Homo-oligomer: A and B are copies of this chain.
């Protein structure tokens, strides 16, 4: 049995609470938040508190709070030599107070408030200063069904950066697709199967091998047509920059 205390009340904290709470060999001993209101609805299934001084004993304390709050809370913890972990993709492990053992449990996934999360689709990247702590965190992650990977600080930082490209930036391309189609009264819905297929393709094929289209073929006629269709100059800039990027990757253009 692994005992856990959760600190924070955002999406990650809430989804972790829910999955821990239904996992047999994990017990959530307590849930802390400065403001009890967002966690009040769970008070029948877990002990809740807004006082760090009242924190109970546990195998691991999970600081699922905003990046800026991690260092502060870690130094205010009224105990020593226990295992504390944060869940951020970019906060340094050493930013947490060294009076406790430190680690990171970085779930590499996008969490929406409403949706239920299948943790078998949430790779958990684990970083610790001590190997013994790694085994406990791995056990915790495996218990909720997540794939796990031991990584170092640099690897976590580049994964967080890469996640911005494949998630936030990709979503912005979807947004531009939405704007362009709606501008002519065409339906964004028609693009949805293509969006899924594009994401599926790179599950089994490298993005390099999966590339197609006018930029890769250096089809200047289509590229010119597309640029003339784009009325928004910001969209033109993105079209040009990503076309050049594809052509550099596929050897159509000098570096």
Interface residues of A (CB under 8 A from B): 67, 90, 108-110, 112, 121-123, 125, 149, 151, 154-178, 180-181, 183-203, 206-208, 210-216, 219, 221-222, 225-226, 229-230, 234, 237-239, 241-242, 244-246, 248-249
Contacts and interface: CB of A to CB of B under 8 A. Distances in A.
Which 6 pairs show the lowest CB-CB distances between chains A and B? A168-B213, A199-B199, A175-B207, A174-B207, A162-B177, A155-B186
Contacts of A109: 193-194, 197
Contacts of A187: 149
Nearest to A246: B172
Contacts of A238: 165, 169, 241-242, 245
Given A157-B229, A170-B198, A190 B237 contact: no
28 contacts: A67-B221, A67-B222, A110-B194, A110-B201, A112-B201, A121-B193, A123-B193, A154-B184, A155-B185, A157-B229, A159-B181, A161-B226, A162-B186, A163-B191, A165-B174, A166-B173, A166-B191, A167-B212, A170-B198, A171-B202, A171-B210, A172-B211, A173-B173, A174-B202, A195-B202, A234-B248, A238-B241, A241-B241
Contacts of A245: 172, 176, 234, 238
Contact of A165 (B173, B190, B197, B206): B173
Q: How many copies, total?
A: 2
A163 B188 CA distance: 10
A185 to B, nearest CB: 7
A245 B191 CA distance: 21
Contact of A198 (B199, B200, B242): B199
Contacts of A166: 173-174, 177, 191, 194-195, 198
Nearest to A117: B197
A62 B225 CA distance: 24
